[in-house]
Amino acid sequence: MLSHVDVLIIGGGPAGAALALALQESDRTVMVLEAQDDFPRPADPRALALSYGAKILLQRLGVWDSIEGATPIETIHISQRGGFGRALLTAAESGVDALGYVVNYSALSTALHQALRQANPLYLTGAVVSSVKSTPGFGVAEFEHGGRQLEVTASLLVLADGGRSLAQVSGVERHVVDYDQTAVICHVTAERPRRHVAFERFTSFGPMALLPSGAGYDLVWTARPDEAEALLQLDDSAFLAKLHERFGDRLGAFTSAGKRASFPLSLKYARPVTAQRMALIGNAAQAMHPVAGQGFNLGLRDAWELGEEILNTPHAEIGGPAMLQHYREGRRRDTGGSILFTDLLVRLFSNDYAGVGLGRGLGLAALDLLPAAKRLVARKMIFGAKG
């Protein structure tokens, strides 16, 4: 057990693991502390919509080919319930093989875990961090592992634990916007599936997404909390009938539904995303509404760009004020633009105010008629604000 490392990553989820893998072939000493025990872990029903840009980064990290069951998204069909106007974004128009890929969270997490286990002997699972603090010269983390209380110092502490350590970080504020919405998720099959087509359907109650997954779809149904609870209580037949009523007849009747789960939706973000000897990435920096599927892709770009920053910084200056300022300013446009974009979509499309539906329809119709605008929107979704 080392007493000091160059980079200490708290949290071995996708963002933390991606950063560690980005640094695996460098001369930087990197330790990862993950609170959960070793794999296998319970299956996670969540589906992730990875952008084509995320696929490129995962290929560079050497894990893409290990992710099982990835389904390409070649077309995104955007519409609104009860109103005219629709837009189609296609991979061909954007000059890429696919706009994105749908993968199961467990499949991605397993691939990253296996790669990290092979690459980094300082990857500790079952390591529960009890405190983090910093001095001008280094950061300090105290944690329990294998029944022992341990301490390690680092030139840079990276918080990638979804914000669980933020309460202990001086100078970083956590902002929360409650949308009063809940996502109901499950896998469904349909009578007339459309291969490799994802649907984003906006309703006055919130957006509904159907993501192609194998022979069926992974559903993300946004609803008011009371409606979401009622949806969880319905039997499969009544649930599928309700889904058909809300979504429409584009796929014919829905024929089966898997186990349902739900989670509340909100926007959470930290400002600033750096502190003395610390940087925040992934859901520790921002956790967004799943509309447009930007959250994980943004967190992966956090990890990649912080890795680039660490590799391009002289060894003695890792975690110093200049490096952290450069990283923070470099990420501002991408994170700020993604947060604004998703928040605007939720607010603009989750209501039935008089006249707003007409404006939304006109906007979708105009977008569909302007190829240059569609390419711009698609490439921002694929590669982030920096394109």
pLDDT > 70 fraction of the chain, expressed in percent and rounded = 97
pLDDT at 311 over 70: yes
Q: Report if residue 146 sits inside a domain.
A: yes
110 inside domain: yes
Regarding beta strands 30-34 and 123-125, do their DSSP bridges make them parallel or antiparallel, or are they unpaired?
parallel
Domain harbouring 72, CATH code: 3.50.50.60
Decide if pLDDT at 352 tops 80.
Answer: no
For residue 322, being part of any structural domain is answered with yes
Q: Is residue 238 part of a domain?
A: no
Instruction: Look over the chain and give the mean of its residue pLDDT values, rounded to a whole number.
Output: 92
Write the single-letter amino acid at 290: P
Q: In this structure, is residue 126 part of a structural domain?
A: yes
40 vs 50, more confident: 50
Q: How far apart are CA 335 and CA 117, in angstroms?
A: 30
The answer, yes or no, to whether residue 56 has pLDDT greater than 70, is yes
Per-residue pLDDT, 387: 60
pLDDT of residue 366: 84
Per-residue pLDDT, 199: 96
What's the domain count of the chain? Answer: 1
Pairing of strands 216-223, 139-145: unpaired
Asked whether residue 202 is assigned to any structural domain, the reply reads no
Q: For position 317, what pLDDT does the model report?
A: 98
pLDDT tens by residue, 203-228:
888 889 999 999 999 999 999 999 99
Q: In which band, very low, low, confident or very high, does the pLDDT at 163 lie, cut at 50, 70 and 90?
A: confident
Residue 25: inside a domain: yes
- When pLDDT is cut at 50, 70 and 90, the band that residue 40 belongs to is low
User: Residue 286's domain spans which residues?
Assistant: 4-175+265-383
Please name the residues in contact with 78: beta carbons below 8 A apart, sequence gap of 6 or more: 86, 87, 88, 89, 200, 202, 364
The answer to whether the CB of 344 falls within 8 A of the CB of 360 is no
pLDDT recorded at residue 39: 64
% of residues, the chain, pLDDT over 90: 77
In a domain, 36, yes or no: yes
